[in-house]
Amino acid sequence: MTGSTVVTSEDVRDALRAVMDPELHLDVVALGLIKHIDLDVEPVLVQMILTTPFCPYGPWLVQQVKEIAEQTVGGKEVKVEVLPEQWNPELMEDPTQLGFF
């Protein structure tokens, strides 16, 4: 999104649905991994968590989130901060998607 279009954090969140966790086959937003998006700072800040502290796909997921967010905010620099918070299925939009409940 470029030009005079105002990009919102919800626009970024929607774009991040394209980033899929390769093990769980769900997107990072549905999994509840995206905690906060701040468009009012430079670089733009996206705070997220991983499904496990030592997620083998963690660096790849962070890079995908960064690239998609940068595309969405018109090429501005984006910093992705991984928070130490523990993930659990209750953070998901719909925990039944995993089939645990």
pTM value is: 0.90
pLDDT along the chain (101 residues), means of 10: 75 98 94 97 97 92 98 95 94 80 47
Domains of the chain: 9-91 (3.30.300.130)
What b-and-e string marks burial along 21-50, b requiring 16 or more CB atoms within 10 Å of the CB? beebebbbbbbbbbeebebeeeebbbbbbb
